Amino acid sequence: MTGERRRHTSVRSYGDLTSTEVLAAMRGATLVWPVGGLEQHGPHLPLSVDFDIPDALARQVVRETDGFLLPGQPFSARSLPQSGGGLHFPGTVHIGGAAFIGYLTHCLTALSALRPARLVVINGHYENEALLFEAIDGCEPARTFPDTEITAFSWWSMVREDWLGEHVPAFPGWHAEHAGLTETSLMLYLRPESVRAGRPDHDTPPQAGVYRHPVDVDLMSNQGVLSSTSGASARLGERLFWHVVDTVMTALAA
C-alpha cells in the first residue's frame, strides 16, 4: 500500500465511543492527542499550521497502533517574537502559560482515570513544549498514571540530525523554522489547497534563546516568516512526514 493511501484511511475516534464502551476500549489501547495552536504563519500558510501537522501525525500514529484519536487541542500558548512572530501579527489565539498548564493538567487528570496502556501527545507549537512537559510532570505520572506509558514530544524532536543534514543543509534551528522550509513543505503535502503562492524568505533568522525589547518586527521576520521558504515542496513534505512517522513508531516500540 502506498503512503498516500495509508494516510487517507479513517481512524478510530475517542469521541465516537460511548460512556459504556470507553473503559473496555482503553484497555491495552494507545490514545493519541495532538496539541496544536492557532498562530500567524506568514502570508502563505494558514493560521492552523501548528494544529494541522500534529493532527495529521496523530492520525497516522493511531492507524499504525490501532489506537484512538483524541480531539486535538487547537489553541496556542503565547506566541513569542523570536520563535513565532509573536502577537505583532493578527490571527494568533493564545492561552497564557499558567492557564495552559492548568488546562492541560485538568485534561490529563481526567484521562488518567481511563487507564489507557499508552498516551501519546504530539505537539506542533514551539512555545507549548515546556508547558506541556511541565503539565505532565506536574501530574506526578508515577502516581496518576501508574499503568500508562506516556510519550510526549514536539514533532520536530523526532527529526533525526542526519535527515536534516541531507534535506535541510542551511537549517536555521527549530525556533526559526516558523512558516519556513519544513512547515511550508509539510503543508504542501498535507493540505496543498491551503498554501498561498507568495513564499517570503528571511535571510537573518532570530537567535535562539534570546528575548529582545523593543523588537523590530521587520528585522526579525519577513512578513511573519522567520527563515527561508526556498526549496519548499510537497515532495520534501512527504519525505519529512513519513520520516517523522517512522521515528515516532521506532520510539514507541523501544
The answer to whether the CB of 149 falls within 8 A of the CB of 196 is no
Position of minimal CB gap to Zn ion: 50
**Lookup result for grid cell 525589547:** 213
In whole angstroms, the minimum distance from the beta carbon of 243 to Zn ion comes to: 18
Query: Which residue in 39, 52, 55, 129 is the catalytic one?
Result: 39
Closer Cβ to Zn ion, 50 or 129, answer by number = 50
How many residues can be counted in the chain? Answer: 254
- For the CB of residue 62, give the shortest distance to Zn ion in the complex, in Å: 22
CA distance linking residue 238 with residue 241, whole number of Å: 5
Place of cell 543534514: 165
CB nearer to Zn ion: pick between 49 and 111: 49
Active-site residue flag, 183: yes
Q: Is 55:35 a contact under the CB 8 Å cutoff? A: no
- Of residues 50 and 55, the one with the C-beta less far from Zn ion: 50
- What is the smallest separation between the CB atom of 105 and Zn ion, expressed in angstroms? 24
- Residue 44 bears catalytic tag: no
Number of neighbouring beta carbons within 10 Å of residue 180 = 28
Give the Cα separation of 136 and 144 in Å (integer). 10
Q: Looking at 50, 52, 55, 177, which residue is catalytic?
A: 50
Catalytic residue among 129, 183, 202, 238: 183
Q: CA 23, CA 118: separation in Å to the nearest integer?
A: 14
- Of the candidates 44, 94, 175, 178, the residue annotated as catalytic is 178
Question: Which of 194, 196, 204, 186 lies closest to 240, judged by CA?
Answer: 186
Choose between 81 and 116: whose C-beta lies nearer to Zn ion. 81
Residues near Zn ion (CB under 5 A) are 49-50
Asked if 228 and 179 count as a contact pair (C-beta separation under 8 A), the reply is no
CA angle in degrees (0–180, nearest 5) for 15-18-20: 145
Q: Which member of 44, 94, 125, 202 is catalytic?
A: 125
Q: Which is nearer to Zn ion, 40 or 112 (CB)?
A: 40
Residues recognised as catalytic: 39, 41, 50, 125, 127, 178, 183
